[in-house]
Each structure stands twice: as C-alpha cells, then as structure tokens.
C-alpha cells in the first residue's frame, strides 16, 4: 500500500537559512539561532511561544531535543531530534508536516543543523554501531563513482560523453551558486577546471564532489486552511514520500548502479499525491541531491525528468540549466553549498520556497508553480530517499 495524502493539507509560511560555509566563529547553537530568528522574524505577529512543537535534524551536532531547546531557551515544548543519513533535514520536515496534518498541533517548526568543520574529518562524520563485519567498507566517492561506468555500459555511452555530462553538471551548479550569496562556493568554474581537478575515485575528481560546510535551516508549518493568517504567499506541500531501502542492492546480482530504486518509489508516491502525471512537463524546477556529478545524471531519470539512457544528452543540451526547460539546483546545489547533513534537506526546501514565492532574484525561474525537493542518503544499493512536491497554489 502506497503512502496517502494527509488528512489536512500543509503549508510552509516561513523559512530561514544561514549561509553554508566555514563558520569557524559560530557553534551549532549559533547557527540554529540564526536560522530560527530569520524564520520567525519574517512573520511579524509570530513568536516562538506560538510554535507548538519542534523537530531538529542532525547527524552529529547534538543529541536529543535539547540540541534545539537549549539554544532557543524553550521551556514546556516538545522537541524531537531525528536522524536519517543525508536525508536528516528532510526527515525533520516530514515529521513536522505529519504532526500538523494530524491536527495534533496548529503550528510546528522543522530545523536542521550540522557543524562538519568542527570535526577532525575532511568529509562526513558518523559513529556507526558495532556490526558483524559483513558491511561494505568503502568511501562515499568510491561508492558513487560506480554510477558512471555502470551508466555507460547500460546505455552505450562512451567515457568522453559521460565525462562531458558530469562536467556540465558541475559547471551548471557552480554557475547557479555564483548567483547566490548563501552558497559556500560563489565562483563559476570552467569545464577545464572540473576535468583537471585531482582524481578522488574512479572518474570522480575533486570538482565532481560536493564540499564540506556548516549550516542550518528552519521552516514553520501550519495547516493549509490557516496559512493566509500568517502570509499572503504560503507554499503548499502537495505530495511527500520517504523510502528506506533494505540495502539488498549491495548483495544482489540484479542491482546495476544505474538507478536509485528508493528514489523511484518515493517520487512515484509523491507525484501521485500531488496529481503529477508528467513530471518532465509539469515541474517548474527541482532541487536534487547532487552529492557527486553522476548522481545528478541518474536522478534526472529516476525522477522522471529524462527518459532512461537520455539524461546525459538532456544535460548537455541545456535542459536543466537555469534558463532551460526544467532548471535543476537553481541555488547551486550541494556542489555550491557543501553538505552539512542535518541542514541540506531544509536548504533544498528553502530554495523551492524562495522560488515559488518569486523571491529568488537573479536566479528566479519565471512562472514557477511546482517544485521538487529530492534528498538522498546512504550509498548506491543501500539508500534512504525523500521526495516532496511543493506548489504556490493549493
């Protein structure tokens, strides 16, 4: 049985998002306060006392709901901390949305934060529980590097064509990030820069990989029928799905590294709820999890934006450029922002929210009506996936 629409429709009435970068002089507490203050401050008649319940997503920057309650000095409020790999920020949003949709609360807040720069690691940090020794032991770049040769083999694409498509993803997203003052990397890059960057794993160079950064984001959600009490430009949650894979792909001969089945399922459910039958034509823009450049190539097909085996060509033809038919990662994506795990999913929501309200400035997509936010966690063959469809019409 697939997931269904919620009993009550949900709207986002306010959001806040810090810049994503090296916040050497700010703690996770500071970042949460900054994101929440921007979020609440955009609603003149709302204070934290009006928010009934809170969710905070973080992988390693705090334990329990006190991660948020302490810096905000919340008393007498339910605050829940969640974690779900790289989809942690989306998980905070999902639980907050369900809470207000159920009628349990009138107004809720979802937040996410991560301070990766405070760790001793150059990338994602996590403490894994003891295992039986059968887990696949590889790095994220190594795992995702398998997508490119698998895609080439499946669709008869030579390495030069695949390399060109991956390069175009990086160039496009950095060009978009150069227009965004919240992005970590605000400089456009050339194809030569991407392709000459030091090799990390397989065909992946440094410029094929998302960066490491700190950041936080926040959203206030209410029932759709109440949204106009707070803003004249609410953004509505039209559909939402989350799928946790069993990890069987890493142990099954049938998995070929050309798709994320969890994304396909989540997208199908979210589209059905939203009444989207032709995502390639109906979606105005999308924020997707471009942790590595071949990931975005594969996601264009998993989300139904390109036909199977055709995404590389659509990318090179400019379909997903800012002025293309379906702009993707208009804010710069993970390539320009980096990936503070707990905040990334909500950062994607923030860009969709901003675009659908017509507030994106030099990167504004004309006549934006429906947006997709897609967040991915784990590795190929063993993923969790979140997909939401947002709209500016109820």
Active-site entry in 86, 291, 352, 383: 86
The backbone torsions φ and ψ at residue 40, rounded to the nearest 5 degrees and listed phi first, read -70, -35
To the query of whether residue 86 is one of the catalytic residues in this protein, the response is: yes
Active-site entry in 23, 339, 352, 383: 339
To the query of whether residue 339 is one of the catalytic residues in this protein, the response is: yes
Catalytic residues: 86, 339
């Amino acid at each position: 049985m697939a997931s269904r629409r919620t009993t009550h429709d949900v709207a986002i009435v306010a959001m806040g998002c810090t810049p994503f970068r090296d916040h050497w002089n700010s703690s996770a507490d500071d970042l949460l306060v900054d994101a929440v203050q921007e979020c609440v401050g955009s609603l003149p008649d709302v204070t934290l006392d009006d928010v009934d319940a809170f969710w905070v997503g973080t992988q390693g920057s705090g334990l329990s709901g006190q991660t948020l309650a302490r810096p905000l000095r919340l008393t007498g409020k339910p605050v829940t901390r969640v974690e779900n790999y790289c989809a942690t920020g989306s998980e905070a949003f999902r639980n907050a949305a369900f809470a207000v949709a159920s009628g349990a609360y009138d107004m809720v807040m979802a937040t996410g934060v991560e301070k990766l720069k405070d760790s001793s690691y150059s990338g994602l940090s996590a403490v894994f529980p003891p295992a039986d020794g059968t887990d696949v032991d590889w790095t994220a770049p190594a795992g995702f590097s398998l997508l490119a040769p698998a895609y080439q083999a499946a669709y008869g694409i030579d390495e030069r064509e695949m390399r060109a498509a991956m390069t175009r993803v990086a160039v496009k997203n950095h060009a978009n990030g150069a227009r965004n003052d919240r992005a970590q990397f605000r400089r456009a890059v050339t194809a030569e820069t991407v392709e000459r960057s030091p090799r990390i794993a397989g065909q992946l160079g440094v410029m094929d990989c998302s960066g490491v950064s700190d950041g936080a984001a926040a959203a206030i959600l209410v029932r759709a029928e109440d949204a106009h009490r707070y803003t004249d430009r609410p953004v509505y949650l039209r559909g939402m799905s989350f799928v946790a894979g069993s990890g069987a792909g890493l142990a099954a001969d049938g998995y070929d590294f050309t798709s994320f089945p969890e994304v396909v399922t989540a997208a199908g459910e979210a589209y059905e709820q939203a009444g989207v039958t032709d995502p390639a034509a109906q979606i105005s823009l999308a924020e997707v999890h471009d942790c590595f450049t071949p990931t975005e190539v594969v996601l264009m097909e998993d989300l139904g934006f390109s036909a199977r085996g055709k995404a590389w060509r659509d990318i090179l033809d400019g379909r997903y450029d800012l002025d293309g038919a379906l702009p993707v990662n208009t804010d710069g994506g993970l390539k320009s922002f980096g990936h503070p795990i707990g905040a990334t999913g909500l950062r994607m929501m923030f860009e969709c929210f901003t675009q659908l309200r017509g507030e994106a400035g030099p990167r504004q997509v004309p006549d934006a009506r429906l947006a997709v936010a897609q967040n991915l966690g784990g590795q190929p063959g063993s993923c969790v996936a979140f997909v939401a469809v947002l709209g500016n019409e109820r």
